[in-house]
């Protein structure tokens, strides 16, 4: 009888010991890498969005924030560093960061943000079926260029020459083409101002003044994030009516913006990361595109540069800063 009791008791004791050992082992906290060429503002918005999904920094998620501070040469080095840390996913902001992450790993999920045409750039096979280890958000929305120019033309009816400020690089080619096509349909002449270094920004806007540009449109690029305030100030100083991409640009003193809702973008990027942490594969998650757009006008800036915004345009704004 004792032998039978031992036969049953020993396996039960072993199983109990295993369960207790597993219970005592700390649960692995997922580690998220965040690679960008600008400051912490976009990262803080993303981490806030992830917090709203129930994640608590240090307890249910650990962040590894890396920024190149606009030094593109550092991107491959920082991407490799995140891979060595064995992060569970990398959020890459901007085409340069995405390419660096792509070259650093083919297995760690990469969630992209602030990229204009991920198909042309070779990051994904298609929006519906990205394939590989990359998915996320694309800025690609061809109608945006036309809408921005249309609104700018309504605000400055006499405009015939538009300066287009863009980052110099292959990632911007599709956006530049879309803007040029839209300008042609509105009978606007385009003066392309391409920059790749911070010290080129002021000289580019000087060139717009010298060639008598009537207004300015900025094409979104992660490179500009750290220099946005300077661009806004220069446009106002040169009395150039300027169309920007995001509401935050207008809140900082820009004249107008028409673009996707930034909080919505961060929420959707966070949602993709959440799905990946719960087991989804990037190849099975379609690349998302902006769904919500907003038009914002700053009347204080309009007054500063001597511009009167037509009442019909004001009526169409989602927000007016007075």
pLDDT in tens, 111-131: 999 887 899 889 999 999 999
Confidence grade of residue 71 (pLDDT, cut at 50, 70, 90): low
User: Does residue 22 register a pLDDT over 60?
Assistant: no
Average pLDDT for 257-283:
92
Q: Give me the CATH number covering residue 80.
A: 3.40.50.2300
Question: Does 255 share its domain with 270?
Answer: no
Distance, CA of 138 to CA of 113 (rounded, Å): 6
**Could you count the other beta carbons within 10 Å of the beta carbon of residue 318?**
13
User: Does residue 303 register a pLDDT over 80?
Assistant: yes
Confidence grade of residue 173 (pLDDT, cut at 50, 70, 90): confident
Q: Is 36 helix (H, G, I), strand (E, B) or coil?
A: strand
pTM of the model: 0.79
What's the number of domains the chain is made of? 2
Question: Does 178 share its domain with 248?
Answer: yes
pLDDT in tens, 213-231: 999 999 988 788 778 999 9
More confident residue, 318 or 6: 318
User: Does residue 52 register a pLDDT over 90?
Assistant: yes
Q: Rounded mean pLDDT of the chain?
A: 89
Question: Does 270 share its domain with 308?
Answer: no
What is the predicted pLDDT for the residue at 14? 56
Residue with tokens 């287009």: 164
User: Does residue 3 register a pLDDT over 60?
Assistant: no
Q: Is 279 helix (H, G, I), strand (E, B) or coil?
A: coil
**Which tokens go with 106?**
């083919």
Could you tell me which of 28, 42, 29 has the C-alpha nearest to residue 111? 42
Question: Does 254 share its domain with 310?
Answer: yes
Question: Does 160 share its domain with 104?
Answer: no
């Amino acid at each position: 009888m004792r032998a039978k009791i031992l036969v049953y008791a020993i396996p039960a004791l072993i199983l109990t010991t295993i369960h207790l050992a597993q219970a005592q082992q700390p649960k692995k906290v997922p580690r998220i890498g965040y690679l960008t060429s600008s400051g912490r503002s976009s990262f803080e918005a993303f981490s806030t969005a992830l917090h709203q999904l129930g994640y608590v920094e240090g307890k249910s998620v650990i962040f590894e924030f890396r920024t190149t501070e606009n030094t593109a040469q550092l991107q491959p080095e920082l991407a490799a560093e995140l891979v060595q840390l064995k992060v569970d996913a990398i959020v890459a902001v901007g085409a340069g960061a995405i390419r660096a992450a792509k070259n650093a790993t083919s297995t760690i999920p990469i969630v992209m943000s602030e990229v204009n045409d991920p198909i042309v750039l070779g990051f994904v096979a298609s929006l519906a079926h990205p394939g590989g280890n990359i998915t996320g958000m694309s800025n690609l929305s061809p109608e945006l260029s036309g809408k921005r120019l249309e609104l700018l033309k309504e605000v400055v009816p006499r405009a015939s020459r538009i300066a287009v400020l863009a980052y110099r690089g292959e990632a911007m080619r599709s956006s530049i083409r879309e803007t040029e096509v839209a300008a042609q349909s509105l009978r606007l002449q385009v003066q392309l101002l391409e920059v790749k270094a911070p010290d080129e920004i002021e000289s580019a806007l000087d060139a717009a003044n010298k060639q008598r540009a009537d207004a300015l449109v900025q094409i979104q690029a992660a490179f500009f994030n750290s220099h946005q305030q300077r661009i806004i100030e220069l446009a106002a100083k040169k009395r150039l009516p300027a169309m920007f991409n995001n509401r935050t640009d207008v809140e900082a003193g820009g004249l107008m913006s028409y673009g996707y809702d930034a909080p919505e973008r961060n929420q959707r990027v966070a949602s993709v990361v959440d799905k990946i942490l719960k087991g989804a594969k990037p190849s099975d998650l379609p690349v998302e595109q902006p769904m919500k757009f907003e038009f914002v006008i700053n009347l204080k800036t309009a007054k500063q540069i001597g511009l009167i915004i037509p009442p019909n345009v004001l009526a169409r704004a989602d927000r007016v800063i007075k």
